[in-house]
Amino acid sequence: MKEKEFKSLIIFENDNYFAFNKPSGITVLADRSGEKGLLEIAKTIYPTAQACHRIDKETSGVLLFAKSPDAYREASLQFQNREVKKIYHAIVNGKADFSNFREASSLSNDNKGAFVDKHGKASVTEFSTLEIFKYHTLIECRPETGRMHQIRVHLAINGFPIIADSLYGGQPFFLSDIKKKFNLGKYEDERPLISRVALHAFGLIFKDLDGSIITAEAPMPKDLAAGLSQLRKNNN
């Protein structure tokens, strides 16, 4: 990612912090493949930048960076003390009717992913339904803790895995699933409308160094927005 492209994805900035609309498919830190992580790219623009938290490689959305050690320390304490409000949007398989539903199954993880474990770490997510479609649902997710794959597992154990999340039972999303008169060319293979885990970090609410409240929101990326458009268009 080039500097110009990186700067175009900054959705909030002041003297202490900047929030970035992370694309899907990019890690926060450099991985074993040798590909640069977002923090490494950020440091070419802001040498003292630090990532205040992480989100999964496939997940898109708000990622907060601090510009100074003091700002990083303050944000880290807020995340640690569960004072930061995190809002995610997920498109799931199935028709889910949640209204401030609270899932509190404890989680552990291994090299395959995360799983429910009564002896695991406390994990809490609150879910509310935003839109219900014929076979899918758009859900707002508000995690109070920050465990690995927390939202993905908490949705899956309630019977609503995230679209394309094959690790936890999510199914691909094809236009032929929802469009009544769908025609594919004789020698064509249908491709899924959404080809990655349909989870987006929509918003963060936290305090600046002076105590003022900052709200950073990331627009839905093109792939998820296109999928939602088709769900709304073919919802009858």
Q: Which of 31, 56, 97, 117 is catalytic?
A: 56
Q: What is the mean pLDDT of residues 127-153?
A: 97
Domain with 157, as residue range(s), is: 3-233
Q: Compute CA 43 distance to the chain's CA centroid, rounded to the nearest angstrom.
A: 23
Distance of alpha carbon 199 from alpha carbon 46, whole angstroms: 28
Whether the per-residue pLDDT at 155 is higher than 70: the answer is: yes
Q: How many domains does the chain have?
A: 1
Q: What is the mean pLDDT of residues 75-83?
A: 96
Alpha helices in 33-68 (DSSP H): 38-45
Distance of alpha carbon 95 from alpha carbon 159, whole angstroms: 10
Please tell me the predicted confidence (pLDDT) of residue 185: 66
Mean pLDDT for all residues in the chain: 93
Q: What is the mean pLDDT of residues 191-217?
A: 96
Determine the residue type at 9.
L
What CATH number is attached to the domain comprising 203? Answer: 3.30.2350.10
Distance of alpha carbon 126 from alpha carbon 98, whole angstroms: 9
Whether the per-residue pLDDT at 1 is higher than 70: the answer is: no
Instruction: Reply yes or no on whether 110 is catalytic.
Output: no
Confidence of residue 105 (pLDDT cuts 50, 70, 90): very high
Please tell me the predicted confidence (pLDDT) of residue 43: 92
Give the three-class secondary structure for 184: coil
Q: What does residue 209 show for φ and ψ, rounded to 5 degrees?
A: -60, -30
User: Which CA distances in Å does 44 have to 15, 59, 67?
Assistant: 17, 23, 12
